[in-house]
Structure 1
Amino acid sequence: MRRVLLIGSGEVGAKHAEALMRTDGLALVAVADPAPAVAPPAGVPLLERWADALSGFGPDVVVVATPPGVALDVARTAARGGATVLVEKPVTVDEAALAPSAEDARIFVAFQPHFAPGLPELLARRPAVRRAEVTLVCRRDRAYYRGWRTRYATAGGVLHQQAIHGLALALRLLPATAIASCTTDVHRVRQWAESEDRITATATFADGTVLTVDARVDSHEERRHEVTLHLDDGQRLRIRGRNLEAGLGDSLAAPGDLQLRQAMYRALPTGGTSSPAHPSVFPLSELRRTLEVIDRVYRTARTVSEAGTAA
């Protein structure tokens, strides 16, 4: 039985807590959060200081579900103590902060939608992809952007918060070459601090491969988060779902969030510094490319007003 400490008890932390409690082979021993938005499950102790929880419980696994301003420090401290660490996205909005550190060998990144049908096999064989299209359609109300999500500097924006599942998947499959050019339009219709309502971008890489993004968080259309891959052999693969969860399979048979989270936990390495044994789990160092691309997209952005003129 692996002892798990959950750090962070907000909206995302609560989802982890529920799934951890229902996963065989794992025991949620404590939750740490100085100001929990959601109470931990009955019988699970709540500690104010994550450092006290680490020293007091000596967990085998630590799940970090805190805002990006503190997540990386928490993860590296937990890894330094010998735990295997799973970090929630986006960990940090500063790709330079992911400069290699000795503790990083124990820190792993995983997105539960990447465990959808067909995706582990796709990541394992890495087909030659010449173009990837990431599409996100959802609606977030004003309450979502309260607190730490209000500003780009602390939350990262739509690409870090919502579209990162599809972006990280696409960028793991595209060749890791430099960005040759990038164009971006950002729409801020509702004017909620720095939060975008829509962002569209096209990034062309040095080898001619292309990544496009169309992420809308002020839409009344049916929710979906999809990735379309155009392969060198002419084949097109469409990864579908509200949040990729149908994968390459039948939408009607798509697994639920609980099943995907349980698969994610079970895939975590047990050897501390061992390499990921599952293709949908990747080391912290690989997240840097996703953050580099997102940063370039935002740095090339022009803001488009409601009337459609660039500012």
Structure 2
Amino acid sequence: MVNFAIVGCGHIAKKHAEAIKQVANANLYAVCDTVPERMDDYVKEYGAEAYTDLDRLLADENVHVINICTPSGYHASIAKKAAEAGKHVIVEKPIALTLRDTNDIIEACSRNDVKLSVVHPNRFRPAMIWLKSIMEKGLLGKISHANATVRWNRNQQYYDQAPWRGTKALDGGVLMNQAIHNLDLLVWLMGDVEEVFSMSATRIRNIEAEDVSTGVVRFTTGALGVIEAATTIYPKNLEESISIFGEKGTVIIGGTTANFIEHCQIEGMSQNEIEQIVNEIKENPYGKPGHQCIIEDMIQAIHNDREPIVTGNDGKRALELVLALYKSAETNQPVKLSSLM
């Protein structure tokens, strides 16, 4: 049995608790929050121990894995403390808000020989697993370009729920908070980004960070990409999609949260084959919950002494792309990712 402890009992913590509950050899042993009443439901429903002091939690030898579910600006300090205490770490996206903090997290986990996984659960969606597999097989041929689109709604009430939402110090805007999952998929599928040019704005929401962003990217392969992300879409979430355009095929994964094959044409693949794949995914578009996959993978990584599927460096790659887009928007200049180092 692997004992997990959730730090930060806000909205996303419930997904972690439910994921842990669904895994046979996982146990939600403890929760930690500075506001005691936020932990009440976890104590009652899951039998978790309640801690208001992080240091006391980390001193508990029964805790094996720390799940960090706090506002993003606190990820780094908690992750480093957890690693120093010999605890494995699962950190919600983004891994951190700066590359310095990210590097510190990765180094602390490596130095203390603990596992580090970043929560990018969309990689475990059936459509994305299928798309990754056909790209690895080269079935789309040489890729010309790709599109990553997030057209969602986060109204003012969403941002007003907590003072940290939409701030640059603790949260970030649509790129750092909402679209980073989509950007993780883009890099996972297309490979490293070499250069970006971006424009962003705060058009409608009363927040410090951006509520809309557009950008173009050049991958190290020479392929190009287009990014569009917004939380200004009226009146509700419209779409999230990943589109890949190759010399031998075109695939668009879409829907409100990028779960369905909306278009597929691949050289040498019959219409019947394509329809079978499309229908199979339509019957089970969400698959096993991504957070549950992350929990299961962490347990296997511990038992088999291997890296988790979504590593700290994976989280860093997604963050680098966001930070490059931010820097480009601020300077109105193209930005090479190598300049961020």
Shorter-normalised TM range: 0.7 to 0.9
SS in 1 for 2:86: coil
Give the partner amino acid of 2:248.
Answer: G
Unmatched 5+ stretches in structure 2: 262-276, 332-341
1:110 is displaced (CA, Å) by 3.2
| Aligned-partner Cα distance in 1 for 2:15–2:202 | 29
Checking the alignment, whether the CA contact within 8 Å between 1:6 and 1:13 is kept in structure 2 is yes
Matching residue within 87, 112, 117 for 1:108: 117
Q: What percentage of residue pairs aligned between the two structures are identical?
A: 24
SS in 2 for 1:92: coil
| Aligned-partner Cα distance in 2 for 1:102–1:216 | 34
1:214 is displaced (CA, Å) by 1.2
Unmatched 5+ stretches in structure 1: 304-311
What is the TM-score when the length of structure 1 is the normalising length?
0.84
Q: Report matched runs for 1:115-126 at 5 Å.
A: 115-120=124-129, 122-123=131-132, 126=136
Deviations 1:213-244 (A, max 9, x none): 1112121255322211223x431222234323
Matching residue within 293, 315, 323 for 1:263: 293
- In structure 2, what is the equivalent of residue 159 of structure 1? 175
Matching residue within 203, 208, 228 for 2:243: 228
Give the partner amino acid of 2:294.
Answer: M
Deviations 1:194-220 (A, max 9, x none): 243321111224542222111121212
Q: Report matched runs for 1:176-215 at 5 Å.
A: 176-179=192-195, 181-182=196-197, 184-215=198-229
SS in 2 for 1:267: helix
Q: Call closer, same or farther: CA 1:129–1:48 in 2, change over 3 Å.
A: farther
- In structure 2, what is the equivalent of residue 143 of structure 1? 157
Deviations 1:32-57 (A, max 9, x none): 11126564421322211222112125
Q: Which moved more, 1:247-256 or 1:195-204?
A: 247-256
- In structure 2, what is the equivalent of residue 274 of structure 1? 306
What is the TM-score when the length of structure 2 is the normalising length?
0.77
Q: Which moved more, 1:60-69 or 1:243-252?
A: 243-252
Q: Report matched runs for 1:5-84 at 5 Å.
A: 5-35=5-35, 37=38, 39-41=40-42, 42=44, 43-84=47-88
| Aligned-partner Cα distance in 2 for 1:78–1:288 | 19
- In structure 2, what is the equivalent of residue 254 of structure 1? 285
Instruction: Determine which structure has more spread, i.e. the larger CA radius of gyration.
Output: 2
Checking the alignment, whether the CA contact within 8 Å between 1:76 and 1:107 is kept in structure 2 is no
The structure with the largest helix share of the pair is: 2
Q: Call closer, same or farther: CA 1:122–1:267 in 2, change over 3 Å.
A: farther
Checking the alignment, whether the CA contact within 8 Å between 1:11 and 1:38 is kept in structure 2 is no
Aligned residues: 295
1:272 is displaced (CA, Å) by 7.9
Q: Call closer, same or farther: CA 1:102–1:16 in 2, change over 3 Å.
A: closer
Q: Call closer, same or farther: CA 1:191–1:222 in 2, change over 3 Å.
A: closer
1:273 is displaced (CA, Å) by 5.3
